[in-house]
Amino acid sequence: MPCAAALLFCIVSTAHLPFADFSGRQGRLEVPLPRVTSAVTIDGQLDEAVWQQAARLNEFSRYAPTDGDAADDSTEVLVWYSPTALHVGVRAYAQPGSVRATLADRDKMFNDDYIGIFIGTFNDGRQATVFSANPLGVQGDGIVVESGQSSSGFGGLSVGREATDISPDYVFQSKGHVTDFGYEIEFRIPFKSLTYQPTDMQSWSFNVLRKVQSRGYEYSWVPAKRAAASYIGQHGHLVGLTELSRGLVLDVAPVITRTINGAPSATNYRYADHPFKVGGNVRWGITNNLTLNGTVQPDFAEVESDANQLVTDPRQSIRFPERRPFFLDGVEQFNVPSGLVYTRRILQPVAAAKVTGKIAGTNIALLSALDDTLGSLSQHDRPLYTILRVQRDFTPAARLGVIYTGKEEGTSYNRVGGADFRMNWRQVYSANVQAVWSATARPNSPTLTAPLWSASFSRQGRRFGARYALNGVADDFRTASGFISRPAIAHLNTDHRYTLFGANGALLENTTFDLVLSGTWKYQNFITRRDAIEKKMHVNLNYAFRGGWRAGTSVLIETFGFDPQLYANYAIERHRESTIDTIPFTGVGRIGNLDYVVTLTTPQFKHFGFNGLFVWGRDENFNEWAPSNIGYYSWTANYRPSPRVRIDGTYLWLFYDRPSDDSRTAETRIPRVKLEYQVTRAFFVRLVGQYTSNTRDVLRDDTRTNDPLLIRNAQGVYVLTRAQSFNDLQGDVLLSYTPSPGKVLFAGYRSLFNEAEPFRFQDITRRTDGFFVKASYLFRAR
């Protein structure tokens, strides 16, 4: 019979069969779903009659840390759909007492056991929306857009699925409970929260992933291979979905915020009471696959301050995540290699609008935002940002994208345009290329034009993997709408990985050897074939043990060349007998490094988890451009004394000691503790305390003359450096009520203190503090 008739027959037949089984290990990955008009209560109990008609997905496989074997614990996933939503029920079987489940805020449940549902509504094999929940129904969600950006380093060349971006939030319902056999979870995913193809009959890619913390394993319904260029491309499918009804997709979320900030004045400590700020977001589903978003005075939503990060190379900029809901909705459509879209460049938009979706097989995303004068060069023009991203799949394995970004303000502008192409073949191979050009105009200055380009090739085999990448950012390349961590360089990186696997049930499940060779050039030196400024060889060994234990060891062999531009404002105060002279600072030509690294990650036990990174050896000290004995220690621990209480602690410690006399050049210490008490699933109280200590000694020419160093100040005068100590203590208190995305009430207090001597807790002075409140309510058309 014709294909359409056969599919319809299968759908009708399945709708009348109880528990039509679809075994992942037997390759039954095409799932025609029953369409049922019954209403159900989302209570986490799968005892209603409608679940007897659901398709049943079972026989999961191991996916991580090793793939191929049958899952150690059974999982049954029941799936059906109503005219307005997709319904998923999960029965997860587990050893008695092994289930990890706590009450938590949204997206904070990934240290628990959880179920992740991957839905690719456009069935393009590279993008999926993820809906997750732990055994108590606490939600986590996000988006995966495969870009082929494998990582390397202490963790080795990545193998497996790309990380989920958990910054977007979607409206869906989930409830769960722990049972004698394990746990059950019930999901309802409204079609209003999805965009999909404008066809009468839908086919969506689909997979279910289960994380078992007590074992350290991930199980997958689809028997996916980690050694593959695409994880989503291996997913199964929900087929034959018809007569889907989103209704009127119209979300309106007004937002009201108010802040009261305190700071010392000339005579006393004073508070400035800012008026209420009223803004809001609107989301309209123009069609099933096209969405219009608008915002007026969007709130930054910074209910928790950005955690401090250690900077080991002053030439590198730090990127902080976007938090504003307007910019996060549809963020996957603006995914571009090389960081050409970074919406935090838009500081305080007065208003913004964007359209995202898929038309005639082409993904389109257009954003326009009028920023406040704070973000302009002149401080009186309002910058206008325009970002256009267009992508098209030519085959399931090949995609072409184009990008345009512009920032216009008065007679000044920055415009960036280019294209990128990605292709996968033979399951394990992939390649990416990109070419971009920028034009930047400033008053009374010539227009600057310059390119950015990149190319990479990777092989993701099970035992052997390799990645080769070359990219360059020209000196005059500028992106006012993007983020370039280090401009004006060219970088070549090669990474080779070989993995050995233990027998099933062995203590050591796999060992990965990873060799990274890389070079970094000043861009012009690369073009003219001169020497690299940095040369690195990293030898990494990573171990995966039974039960979720992870460990790694690395040896880092590097050489760094002197960068005259970085030290243009340095000089030496030369002391010779009775004379003092100022001479240029040239520094040693090249510094050799030899560092050792150990990493350790424990399983997530019932009440405790830990991971640590420890680096020591000989490294470059950028403060004096001299070899230094370095220590870089970072560890994180979490403690769960009860399902409602969560305590997370981190400690970062970085120091540089002079080999000549063991004196300490610089030191940074950042302890941070976060305590959360989850009163209910929607309401929690959070306390955050963080101490940041930065100390630096008087600088000297440690590699040659041992004379003091001078640094030119803002007035162009060379001055002697002085010992510095900055010690800040920050405290945050937050009360949060979030029954669902868009419906929030935040009330918080933040304070910042400092003291002269680190960790003395004496003579503490208050620098600033502030109260804030935010209220938002999502009105969703029915």
Quote the distance between the C-alpha of residue 252 and its chain's center: 27
pLDDT tens, residue by residue, 566-589: 999 999 998 877 778 889 998 888
In which domain, by residue range, is 86 found? 3-242
The DSSP result for 364-417, as a single string, is EEEEEEE--GGGSSSSSS--EEEEEEEEEEEETTEEEEEEEEEEEETTEEEEEE
Count of domains observed in the chain:
1
Specify the pLDDT at position 17: 44
108 domain-assigned: yes
Query: Does any domain span residue 490?
Result: no
Instruction: Quote the tokens at residue 94.
Output: 């587990």
Does 18 have pLDDT greater than 70? no
Residue 148 counted as domain residue: yes
pLDDT category of residue 38 using cuts at 50, 70 and 90: confident
Residue 494 lies in a domain: no
| pLDDT range class, residue 157, cuts 50, 70, 90 | low
- CA 434 to the chain's CA centroid: 22
- Of the candidates 626, 614, 617, the one whose C-alpha atom is nearest the C-alpha of residue 594 is 617
Assign 14 a pLDDT band (cuts: 50, 70, 90). Answer: very low
209-222 residue pLDDT tens = 999 999 999 999 99
User: Is residue 393 domain-resident?
Assistant: no
What pLDDT score does 587 carry? 85
Q: Are 105 and 134 in contact (CB under 8 A)?
A: no
Q: Give the DSSP H or E segment for 523.
A: helix 523-527
> Which stretch of 6-15, 322-331, 336-345, 429-438 has the lowest confidence by average pLDDT?
6-15
Q: Average the pLDDT over 634-658 and give the result.
A: 96
Question: Using an 8 Å Cβ cutoff, are 619 and 625 in contact?
Answer: no
The average pLDDT across 352-359 equals: 93
The rounded Cα 92 to chain-centroid distance in angstroms is 28
Torsion of CA 166, 169, 174, 176, to 10 degrees: 30
**How far apart are the C-alpha atoms of 119 and 775, rounded to whole Å?**
31
Q: What are phi and psi of 598, to 5 degrees?
A: -130, 130
Is the residue at 61 inside a domain?
A: yes
pLDDT tens column, 267-321: 889 999 888 889 999 999 999 999 999 999 887 655 555 556 677 888 888 888 8
Q: How far apart are CA 350 and CA 383, in angstroms?
A: 10
CB 405 within 8 A of CB 418: no
- Check pLDDT > 90 for residue 225: yes
- pLDDT at position 691: 96
In a domain, 580, yes or no: no
Q: Is the model's pLDDT at 601 over the cut of 90?
A: yes
Task: Tell me the sheet residues that pair with 386.
Answer: 368, 406
Q: What is the CATH number of the domain that holds 142?
A: 2.60.40.1190
- For residues 599 and 154, the answer to whether their CB atoms sit within 8 Å is yes
DSSP string, 116-134: EEEEETT--SSEEEEEEE-
Is the per-residue pLDDT at 154 higher than 60?
A: no
Instruction: Name 129's bridge partners.
Output: 119, 143
Buried b (16+ CB within 10 A) or exposed e, 277-291: eebbbbbbbeebbbb
Question: What are the φ/ψ torsions at residue 9 (nearest 5 degrees)?
Answer: -60, -40
- Asked if residues 598 and 614 have their Cβ atoms less than 8 Å apart, the reply is yes
- Across the beta sheet with 570-576, what order do the strands follow? 579-584, 570-576, 709-712, 718-720
Q: What are phi and psi of 343, to 5 degrees?
A: -70, -10
Q: Which of 197, 325, 314 is nearest to 257 (CA)?
A: 325
Alpha-carbon Rg for the chain in angstroms? 28
**Region 156-181 average pLDDT:** 87
Instruction: Output the six-digit token pair for 47.
Output: 């005892």
Kindly report the average pLDDT of the chain as a whole number.
Answer: 91
Across residues 135-154, what is the average pLDDT? Answer: 79
Pairing of strands 236-242, 30-32: parallel
Question: Is 223 within a domain?
Answer: yes
Question: Which tokens in the block code for residue 675?
Answer: 């305590």
- Do residues 224 and 231 make contact, with C-beta atoms less than 8 angstroms apart? yes
- Global pTM value: 0.90
Percent of the chain with pLDDT over 70: 95
Confidence class for position 521, pLDDT limits 50, 70, 90: very high
Q: What is the pLDDT of residue 303?
A: 53
Which residues are registered as beta bridge partners of 444? none
